[in-house]
Chain A
Amino acid sequence: MLLTTLEYVPGKTITKHLGLVQGSTVRSKHIGRDIMAGLKNIFGGELKGYTELLQESRDEAVARMQEQANSIGANAILNIRFSTSNITQGASELYAYGTAVVLD
Chain B
Amino acid sequence: MFDLIVFLVLLLSGFVIGNLVERNHYRSIIRREAQLRNLLLIASKKLPDEFMPCTTRMVAGNVVISVDFFKKFVAGLRSLIGGRVSSYESLIDRARREALLRMREEAQKAGAQYVFNVKTETTSLYKGKRGAIGSVEVLAYGTAVTLANQPSMKAG
Residues of A within 8 A of B (CB): 2-7, 9-11, 34, 37-38, 40-47, 50-51, 54-55, 58, 80-86, 89-90, 92
Contacts and interface: CB of A to CB of B under 8 A. Distances in A.
Nearest to B122: A84
Contact of B56 (A10, A43, A45, A81): A10
Interface stretch (B32-40, B78-86, B135-143): B135-143
A104 to B, nearest CB: 16
A90 B128 CA distance: 8
Nearest to B72: A41
A44 B68 contact: yes
Given A5-B143, A10-B54, A90-B127, 15 more contacts: A5-B141, A34-B127, A37-B133, A42-B14, A43-B14, A44-B71, A45-B25, A45-B68, A46-B63, A46-B64, A47-B135, A51-B63, A82-B139, A89-B129, A92-B125
Nearest to B44: A6
**Residue of B52, B67, B131 with most chain A CB atoms under a 10 A cut-off:** B67
Interface in B107-156: 116-117, 119, 121, 123-129, 131, 133-135, 137, 139, 141-143, 145
B45 A6 contact: yes
B51 A50 contact: no
B69 interface: yes
A34 B133 contact: yes
A9 B117 CA distance: 13
A6 B116 CA distance: 8
A37 B65 CA distance: 10
Given A37-B133, A82-B141, A86-B126, A7 B64 contact: no
B133 A38 contact: yes
